[in-house]
Structure 1
Amino acid sequence: MTTTPTVPATPPRRVPRRTALLLAGVLAIPLGGGVAAPAAARVDAGNSPGVTCTGAPDGFASVNALGQNGTTGGAGGPTVTVTTAAQLASAAGQAGPLIIRVSGRIQVSDMITVVANKSIIGVGTTAEITGGGLQLGSTTRPGNNVIIRNIRFTDAEDDSISVTNKAHHVWIDHNDLSDGYDGLLDIKRESDFVTVSWNRFHQHSKASLVGHSDNYPADRGKLRVTYHHNFFDGTDQRHPRVRFAEPVHIYNNYYRNNALYGIASTEDAGLMVEGNYFENVAHPIHVGYADSAPGRVVERNNLYVNSGTPETAGTVVEPRTYYPYTVDSPASVPATVTAGVGVGRVCP
């Protein structure tokens, strides 16, 4: 197998944002009702041949819990199309279910608050939120039952997407995230039942954090998150870095040229890591990191190509106690993930 050279010992300097790859495809907005279990995977004719995807969330976002029947977003509400930051902020903060179509490039400042029962869906292949990001909920207005799909996020002043303030049932799918200031996608402050699928992370250091800080044990027993079929493409760290959560299920993701590390489990978090492909990752899995106490990791059936040895420890709650799933062969992951991630590939 031909591999690219080993990653440098120190992380590369941040470089200017480059134009993200535009992927051909079609867009359809999901309008279905409650989700009791994952939708069956299928091949969508609008995508590249052989790319399997689903039109409804799977993983933790599909679980019936906390009074929510899976994740349905704005289904059942009206549809609006937004082209400016003011329109997006107004729609995202509106009470009740709403499907928000993001058309073209929208320049925003800081974070736009998204409240409950919203689907925020990019139109075609050119939807972009730049300069700021989306924050799910506030301390007084929850961001539960939210879907974010098919959007390019660039140059955020803070996080590109922040799932916070006890938001639950969130599906983040088929987005392209790059070149922000802090985290591209952070999940914290007692949020729960989240699925992160088919996203590309690139041109950045801190990809995705789960758990607010070492001094926020209120996250214990929350933060149940599924990561599957994401492409961590040259990002340095946090793919994810996890505190307190259990289980965090990480499967069939493609890790390439991650200079600091792939995954880190800290502060007694429990991570199930399976069927992933690590390429040129010197430290694919850490147990404990920096000043954070060790967590627990069970790893199985991963491939480590020109990569280091993973660290593991302890036992972890099986994700199958929450939802059914199928793990693809890890050897197929680079081709499947690179063909399917990002914008322009949203299945109906």
Structure 2
Amino acid sequence: MTTEAERPIEPDRVRAPNIRDVARVAGVSYQTVSRVLNDSPNIRPETLQRVRDAIDELGYRPNQAARALVTSRSRTIGVLAAQTVHYGPATSIQAIETAAREAGYRLSITNISSSEYASIKSGLDYLMSQAVEALIVIAPQVRVFEAIHDLQVGVPFVTLEATGLSSDHSLWVDQVQGARMATRHLIELGHTEIMHISGPQDWIEAEARMQGFLRELGDADLRTRAPILGDWTASFGYYAGLELLRYRDFTAVFAGNDQMALGFMHACREMGLSVPGDISIVGFDDVPEAAHFAPPLTTVRQNFAEIGRRAIALLLGELRGETDLSHDPVQPELIIRESTARASRLG
């Protein structure tokens, strides 16, 4: 039988280092360590370095809840999000989290179950209960931002959208410009009969991309066709492609996102058509896999890292009381690959 003295020490019984341990190793008082952790001024550089070295040596991690009680600051930014399974919102959150961490903040994220007012209010109430210092709203539908506009948000906030409801709080990638760039690229290749497979009708980005497509065709005096309303999935792009290619009275497609472009390319292969020999295709987003489609996809890239950096910079500026903050849209970039070529003859 193993005695109590012979039993190994369980790992979870090992005490985590605390602020007094840091003070002992650094050779300073624990009050000095506290001042370093709270970014207090007038600390000598050599003292600051000794404390930081001690923190690294011990692997000390400040207790955020305890710091919030002392400083009345949570150093937490709330994110109210919907539809995070899609590439755009999910990548935006990742970029925001990276930028927040670099600025010494963490995120508290809640996903709303629907765009109903009660769900939005519940999500907002939860974040406020976490004592967030600022808020970022990422949602695809106009009615979500209408509800946010009506609710009283008591902290600095930024919305990743371009509805015009909160121009002083908005940050977005210029979706209309991105769609115009994609459509113009096809026109410059000689395509005059171009189809658009759009995202869902109630999505802000889908509407903006559709408007960009229609405006560019209008400016070029080309015939406009009713866009096909999709759902962002490759499956929709595939089945829409099978239907549209039965008639093939067009030579190019601008798909509202890369997944639908992928599905459409699948339909082309199944129908014995060449991309881009018979049909040119442009997507939107530049997902990491787009460069590896067969053929590699021409698409519109959204700079999500820049979105995250600027969203955090805007919020930190507001927290510091700055007023001259830029809300200029982030510009997209056309990435030309092998899925587009000079227009072929119809038939």
Q: So what's the TM-score if we normalise by structure 1?
A: 0.25
Larger proportion of helix? 2
Larger proportion of strand? 1
Q: So what's the TM-score if we normalise by structure 2?
A: 0.26
Larger Cα-atom Rg: 2
